[in-house]
Amino acid sequence: MPAVPERAPVTTRSETQSTLDHLLTEIELRNPAQPEFHQAAHEVLETLAPVVAARPEYAEPGLIERLVEPERQVMFRVPWQDDQGRVRVNRGFRVEFNSALGPYKGGLRFHPSVNLGVIKFLGFEQIFKNALTGLGIGGGKGGSDFDPHGRSDAEVMRFCQSFMTELYRHIGEHTDVPAGDIGVGGREIGYLFGQYRRITNRWESGVLTGKGQGWGGSLIRPEATGYGNVLFAAAMLRERGEDLEGQTAVVSGSGNVAIYTIEKLTALGANAVTCSDSSGYVVDEKGIDLDLLKQIKEVERGRVDAYAERRGASARFVPGGSVWDVPADLALPSATQNELDENAAATLVRNGVKAVSEGANMPTTPEAVHLLQKAGVAFGPGKAANAGGVAVSALEMAQNHARTSWTAARVEEELADIMTSIHTTCHETAERYDAPGDYVTGANIAGFERVADAMLAQGVI
């Protein structure tokens, strides 16, 4: 690895930025071939110069250097047998990034695109997202390059059992609490929890979140990420003197986040006209029929082209293409990272978009974010806008700890309060650091301050 010269002490904002740029170079050298992690680190560190210059204690004990290095990285093989008796081998990952505020908390993703760089990117984002909730949870992420799509229930069960046979030794309700993510829903969480219980001989319900409601899960957890994102978008609009009533929205994806984003948009008077998957997207001029979409995606595990076939004249399926070509007032990317690029952002701006709010983890490329902000579009970054999911996961942990269950109304009220608080924190922090309306800067600095203060208090560890 090329040698990197030592950095000088920080005294001014320009020197601070130079030091942070130097650290970014170090990150790229120490973590080669991990572009997603590099992107996440750049997105945060390029906004921290004002706060580090204002509070030089953050620069002294190597705090930022510790923040960008995971406390623990676990990678392991996952052997399992398919229905034909063939032994398959996948890779499993768990990156426990930062526990200054509480036990590591973050989802498990099962998808062919998963690698160490992707997991580190997601885990780094999770640190700040979790900090913004104010609920005392650290940041972590995990998963595997296993693809559950098209696999039988028996195959998924065997894979999950093998995966947990290694993972169990690294997690626990006071250590690390995984949840679901792409490819990991209620079915997978059930199999994972069952194997954890089998190995440990403990009913430790707080070790996983996203569980079934009959055995330790929380009401509103499936809906939380989508609901929370819409609540954040509504708060951004209120700052501009508008509300969701009568607004047209484009939503990407057709999984859990997208479905409940559409549901909440509809409940608040907006018209969500799109959904998508890897095969293409659907435009429904009358608004997406949620019952039909849920039947196709959640029950039949089908593709969105089936929605268009069964919906009738109001809907059309567009193979391939970009869902962001559809004119709308609001855009809510809810599928996966880097799905909304600079060209798509330019199209949205030309079509008059007012706000973009991220339901997925970093679905908007840095170039697209800058273009949207320059055009005056309200932009809600995922670490703030999609924090509703992990917030309700933390509420599920609280219910598990108390051996109780809250009503849906209580959980939804708590979620609304948390999302309002996150919006207020981001908005006020951006103004405090001379970046009014910049929710990216506000979210990054507010999350960083909470984690950094805890790290300083706990010493160099």
CA distances from 99 to 172, 174, 265, 461 (A): 13, 10, 34, 11
How far, in Å, CA of 440 to CA of 352, rounded? 21
Tokens 């190597």 correspond to: 62
Residue 12, exposed/middle/buried by CB under 10 A (0-12, 13-18, 19+)?
A: exposed
How far, in Å, CA of 305 to CA of 302, rounded? 9
> Has 126 been labeled as part of a binding site?
yes
Tokens 């999984």 correspond to: 255
Catalytic residue (choose from 120, 141, 297, 383) = 141
Q: How many CB atoms lie within 10 A of CB 239?
A: 13
> Has 322 been labeled as part of a binding site?
no
In the three-class reduction of DSSP (H, G, I as helix; E, B as strand; rest coil), residue 248 is classed as: strand
Terminal C-alpha separation, the chain: 25
Rounded to 5°, the CA angle 391-397-399 comes to: 105
> Has 225 been labeled as part of a binding site?
yes
Q: Which two tokens mark 17?
A: 């930025």
Q: Give the pairing type, strands 315-319 and 330-332.
A: unpaired
> Has 441 been labeled as part of a binding site?
no
Beta partners for residue 79, in sequence order: 89
> Has 129 been labeled as part of a binding site?
yes
Q: Is 141 annotated as catalytic?
A: yes
HSE-up (13 A, CA, CB side) for residue 6:
3
> Has 256 been labeled as part of a binding site?
yes
Is 170 within 8 Å of 208 (Cβ atoms)? no
DSSP string, 352-363: T--EEE-SSSS-
The residue type of 319 is P
Q: Give the pairing type, strands 355-357 and 271-272.
A: unpaired
> Has 162 been labeled as part of a binding site?
no
Is 299 within 8 Å of 266 (Cβ atoms)? no
CA distances from 110 to 176, 362, 442 (A): 18, 18, 31
Nearest to 288 by CA among 256, 314, 319, 318: 314
Q: Which two tokens mark 422?
A: 């996150």
Is 283 within 8 Å of 271 (Cβ atoms)? no
Provide the H-helix boundaries in 90-207. 116-133, 153-167, 186-200
109: DSSP letter:
E
How far, in Å, CA of 75 to CA of 299, rounded? 33
User: Would you please indicate which residues are annotated as catalytic (active-site) residues?
Assistant: 141
Could you list the residues known to form a binding site for NAD(+), using ranges.
225, 256
| Binding annotation | 105, 126, 129, 180, 225, 256, 393
